[in-house]
Amino acid sequence: MGKAKKGPKFAVRKKIITSKAIKSYKEEVLNPEKKDIVKEKLPRNIPSHSSALFFQYNTALGPPYRVLVDTNFINFSIQNKLDLEKGMMDCLYAKCTPCITDCVMAELEKLGQKYRVALRIAKDPRFERILCTHKGTYADDCLVERVTQHKCYIVATCDRDLKRRIRKIPGVPIMYITKHRYSIERLPEATMGGGSHEWK
């Protein structure tokens, strides 16, 4: 049998600890006052909570629901031939009270003859009228301010900018129109219809 060929031998290099290495080790590891660089580089461990969890702390929400109605929500309801109160009850499976602020009413009055049907619907006695004490009649700011102070409302709107602003406020559900019917966003099943529902 032939001999197996051996590879070339390499000398193992000895590691020499220099005084400079000892000094840097003392500075980095043994000095308690120095900040831990490794810990600083690690990402902060922030517990991620589902946005739906905000509602378990919002005890003000529950049937009968009070729904703050925006100007464009009434207009889109007319376009989609939806009855506001009936549509809301079909969506939430509970009694609903549509609420309209002075600012929304003033905005509808400013829109003129084109939106006279929307104004007539807004003056319905079934609607709860909410008085505004602040200055100005910009409806979006009025609704955001109201739901920030009192989180007992559902906001009904089709305005993208207003939806974006409402989403930043935890515990406030949004009602909107999709596929010719009302739909609700950010409302847990536990509060719908006065009890939990099992969806099949």
Whether the predicted pLDDT of 38 surpasses 50: yes
- Phi/psi for 120 (5° steps) reads -65, -40
User: Is the model more confident about 193 or about 116?
Assistant: 116
Residue type, 108: L
Tell me the pTM.
0.64
What digits encode the pLDDT tens for the residues 84-143?
989 999 988 889 999 999 888 988 888 888 888 988 988 888 899 988 887 776 888 889
Whether the predicted pLDDT of 190 surpasses 50: no
Q: Tell me the pLDDT of the chain averaged across its residues.
A: 78
Q: How confident is the model at residue 32 (pLDDT cuts 50, 70, 90)?
A: low
Return d(Cα 144, Cα 98) in angstroms, integer. 17
The pLDDT value recorded for residue 194 is 40
Q: What percent of the chain has pLDDT over 70?
A: 69
Secondary structure letter of residue 33 according to DSSP: T
The pLDDT value recorded for residue 140 is 87
Q: Where does 63-188 sit in CATH, by number? A: 3.40.50.1010
